[in-house]
Chains A and B, each alone.
Chain A
Amino acid sequence: MKHRLTAVAAAATFIVAGATGAFAQSYKIGLSNGWIGSEWRTQMIEEAEAAAAAWKERGVDVEVVVQSANVDVPGQIAHVRNFMNQGVDAIIINPNSPTAFDPVFRQAAAQGILVISTDAEVSSSDAIYVGIDQTDWAAKSAQWLADTLGGEGKVVAINGVAGHPANQMRVEGYTSVFDNYDGIEVLNEVNANWDQAQGQQAMQNLLATYPDIDGVWVQDGMAAGAWRAIMDADKTADIAATGEIRKDFLDIWAENDLTSGASVNPPGVMASALNVAVFMLEGRELKEPADAGQYGNALYLPIPFIDGSNFEEVHEAVEGKPGYYSYTSALSIDDAEALFN
């Protein structure tokens, strides 16, 4: 009896396998994340794992192995070397440094491993970047602020960590937009290290120093704090400020009818990178080579934007999610395929 069942099961497996092509291809992809200080990173990895699982329907078996922990730069170089020891086909990394991985990526590439960085660009010519353009991310929300203010007003900016490349690109992004408007005066630019409490404090100080602020350009990770200071000062109706993409902030936005707009840096970027990676492993060629950005190796993804016009829709999309959940978007397998020949 038992044997017969096994035989039936085996036959069934055979049929199913025949129908789906029996995982004609299987790939092992290493995901490395070097900082776990925010839920955004956790969501980034979860979405990438889900994207890998989705390839099963296409008959491609994508196994992901993950290294995610707070590490220093050598610690993340060790991530890459561990992946090399395991013999992965591709590595997708959210890097702790833009430049420090050049030699180890060269060693990985020499082993025939595909290397893709996401969320932060890397200088290595042996890797490509799949993610958003941080300059454009900042320009979009700066444009929204300029439009909302009618091209005229006093503006302050609250930035992240000095010396961080993404921060640098974002500063360039909003500066290039505000420079186009004679009527927009940037009163002050401060750093609050991508920390909500420091963002709130910075905003309090700015409000005390400049009582007639019209607009605030503040980066994500600090915008909720800045808005708290604005609301505490009873200036909600007088000030337009950029916002966040987290569910808990979107709730505050809805409740208080804020004048806000947010560029989306979606945690789905790693999932997008994974889908691109699988097509590259399949040997497909990109229609447009990844040659954008300052390092000439970037493939930029579209950046969604949240403002009054689509707020309801976005807020509904995160309905029922926990407060730390970020509004997201990612290239589906079909979206990714459209990028290839």
Chain B
Amino acid sequence: MTDQTASNSLSVAGQRLIARFPFVPAAIILVVLLALNGWFEPRSLSFGALRGLVSTYLALMLLAMAQSYVVFASDLDLSVGAIVSLVNVVMVTVMQSLGGDPLMVLFACVVGIAVGVACGLFNGFVVAALRLQAIVATFATSIFFTGIALYVLPVAGAPVPEAFWLTYASSYFGIPFVFYVLALVLVILTLLARSGLVIRILTVGDDAMGAFHSGLPVTAIRIKGYALCGLFAALAAMCLTGDTASGDPLVGGQMTLNSVAAVVLGGTALSGGKGSVLGAVIGALIIGLINSLVFFVGTPSEWQNLVQGLAILGALMIGVLVSRRAQK
């Protein structure tokens, strides 16, 4: 009797917790994956290794954030990877032509952000104003953006000024630069989560017709969601450029679907209307840790892709099951 009451109150608490913080299941999976990685390869939890993990996946975390703001409005952006490539080659080309002076590097970053936002606005215009299907329209713009990237830099190459990538790899006061960026990202996403814009995006995603009837400018809000997505894709491109120190017109292409997967793993529904950006950031790390774990447990090479896919499916199912139980 008491047991049941206890478990009931526990499930009520869990229910409240997950309703308030939809990323909780993802966070639990993250902790379990970290522990498993550490179990199979103790050195993977060393300070240097964790720093490597963040350096590697910061770009995907930001790209998952970018994708979240679009998914919240029940849209999708299949061009985020192409935007990353385009911003990457534009920044590198600007840096090359202006030299490695820190001020010029900063200028290149501003240009990169402008390009990202412009791409986002273009996507938003095509999807929300012209009312084309988001999946197909952004698939088409991804080919378009890749085309521009290939025009800007036809073949991978073009080293980045050391001032840029050495900063990305450096430490200040004993703490790696990437950890500061991660902290800043977390602050920004917390502030944004409470902003009017994100709440309006969620409202549109929940019930676009209802939002329209209540007087919200639905089209403008969806376009702003895409612009926000372009902005964070540009920031992702900066991190990728920091970790790769070069321009490559095809570098981001394969990151697109990973960004969608990260969003879903983080507990956000593709149907829009609710979700958590922090969850998407955690989802990006989950993808990375699964890839490493598959290797550390010693999976034979011919099975690695299969096991990776199954593990991501598994993580997805655990997340869904936990959320559902909590909602009962």
Contacts and interface: CB of A to CB of B under 8 A. Distances in A.
Contacts of B145: none
A26 to B, nearest CB: 18
B243 A85 contact: no
Contacts of B314: none
Contacts of B248: 73, 97-100
A45 interface: yes
B254 A71 contact: yes
B291 A75 contact: yes
Interface stretch (A61-69, A136-144, A228-236, A324-332): A61-69
Nearest to B309: A69
Interface stretch (B45-53, B104-112, B182-190, B220-228): B45-53
A99 B150 contact: no
A25 B300 CA distance: 24
B219 interface: no
Nearest to A77: B56
A101 interface: yes
Contacts of A45: 301
B150 A102 contact: no
Contact of A123 (B56, B159, B295, B301): B159
Contact of B246 (A36, A78, A99): A99
Given A67-B304, A69-B308, A81 B56 contact: yes
B157 A123 contact: yes
Contact of A77 (B41, B244, B308): B244
A112 interface: no
A162 interface: yes
A82 B244 contact: no
A267 to B, nearest CB: 14
A162 B302 CA distance: 29
Contacts, number: 135
Interface string B22-60: 000000000000000000010110100100110011011
A163 B150 contact: yes
Contacts of B158: 99
Contacts of A70: 254, 305
Contacts of A71: 254, 291
A288 B254 CA distance: 38
B102 interface: no
Given A70-B305, A74-B240, A123 B246 contact: yes
Nearest to B153: A163
Contacts of B53: 78, 81
A72 interface: yes
B163 interface: no
A29 to B, nearest CB: 13
A65 B291 CA distance: 14
A163 B255 contact: no
B41 A85 contact: yes
Nearest to A169: B155
Contacts of A168: 154-155
Nearest to B58: A74
A164 interface: yes
A163 B302 CA distance: 29
A105 to B, nearest CB: 10
A97 B253 CA distance: 12
Q: Give the bracket for the number of chain A residues in contact with chain B.
A: 35 or more
A151 interface: no
Contacts of B139: none
B301 A66 contact: yes
A123 B92 CA distance: 16
A36 B252 CA distance: 18
A69 B291 contact: yes
B201 interface: no
Given A85-B41, A86-B43, A36 B244 contact: no
B96 interface: no
A102 B168 CA distance: 13
Contacts of B46: 85
Contacts of B243: 74, 77, 103-104
Contacts of A99: 156-159, 244-248
Interface string B155-173: 1111100000100110000
A101 B165 CA distance: 12
A46 B89 CA distance: 36
Interface in B72-88: 81
A165 interface: yes
A148 interface: no
A8 B266 CA distance: 59
Contacts of A81: 49, 52-53, 56
Interface of A: 31, 33, 36, 42, 45, 65-75, 77-79, 81-82, 84-87, 97-104, 107, 123, 161-165, 168
Given A102-B159, A163-B156, A163-B250, 11 more contacts: A67-B304, A72-B253, A73-B248, A73-B252, A82-B41, A85-B43, A85-B44, A100-B248, A100-B251, A102-B245, A162-B154
14 contacts: A66-B301, A73-B240, A73-B244, A77-B243, A78-B53, A78-B288, A81-B52, A85-B41, A97-B248, A103-B165, A123-B157, A165-B156, A165-B157, A168-B155
